[in-house]
Amino acid sequence: MLNIILMGPPGAGKGTQAKKLIAKYNIPHISTGDMFREAIKEGTPLGKLAASYINDGHLVPDDVTIGLVKERLSKDDCANGYLLDGFPRTIPQAEALEVIAKEIGREVKYVIDIETPKEELVRRICGRRVCKKCGAPYHIINIKPKVDGICDICGGELVQRPDDNEEALTVRLDAYVKQTKPLLEFYKNKGLLTTFDGSNSSDLTPKLIAFLGE
């Protein structure tokens, strides 16, 4: 069963790899970041609360995040497994996930940690632009759209995420080191952790598929 967690600092390429993996394996991509951004777009109470943390780079409180994931994991489409992207990010979240996963009978099998040098993270995040309409990612130097500022796929406007600036990124990297990195030890001790090099994103996908199996 493919019950997978993708971990790594902001900009490591978790979202990019997740999209490639779910195209191959028939499991849902559960990204807490995407779920929060969706709620923000819709202007729901959850979105309003989440925005007050996310925009300057802080983590959303554990109780809120855990509740959201618990609800999502209990849906039927997780029957063949799941790909968690950006959750858990704290020890309390990881502990809550243990309980939830047991309850639904789908315990975590692989924790994939994508490591990328800090200079590369900064370069990727500060140059990142995303389509306002469909969410497709671009980069001002590496992944330019055909027409400046316009999405190749849907014609939507390309924008910068409010938390993709140097100031918020400093807060995000700090949160990663202090709150998320301890999880590597947590999963290593359980024998679930495998680390991959994320500096070259197109090289990484075949490696992940070789690791997870056909």
* Nearest-angstrom CA–CA distance, 149 and 28: 30
Interacting partner of 196 out of ligand ADP, Zn ion, none (Cβ under 5 to 8 A depending on kind): none
What are the structure tokens assigned to 161, written together?
């995420």
Interacting partner of 47 out of ligand ADP, Zn ion, none (Cβ under 5 to 8 A depending on kind): none
Q: Which amino acid is at 33?
A: G
* Nearest-angstrom CA–CA distance, 186 and 196: 17
Counting every residue, how long is the chain? 214
Nearest residue to ligand ADP on Cβ basis: 33
Residue whose token pair is 């559960």:
30
Helix, strand, coil content of the chain in percent (nearest 5): 50, 15, 35
Active-site pick, 14, 37, 72, 106: 14
Interacting partner of 53 out of ligand ADP, Zn ion, none (Cβ under 5 to 8 A depending on kind): ligand ADP
Q: Among residues 122 and 213, whose Cβ is nearest to ligand ADP?
A: 122
Residues forming contacts to Zn ion in the complex (CB under 5 A) are 131, 133-134, 136, 151, 153-154, 156
* Nearest-angstrom CA–CA distance, 157 and 203: 29
Residues forming contacts to ligand ADP in the complex (CB under 6 A) are 10-11, 14, 32-33, 36, 53-54, 57-60, 65, 86-89, 93, 163, 172
Q: Which residues are catalytic?
A: 14, 89, 128, 161, 172
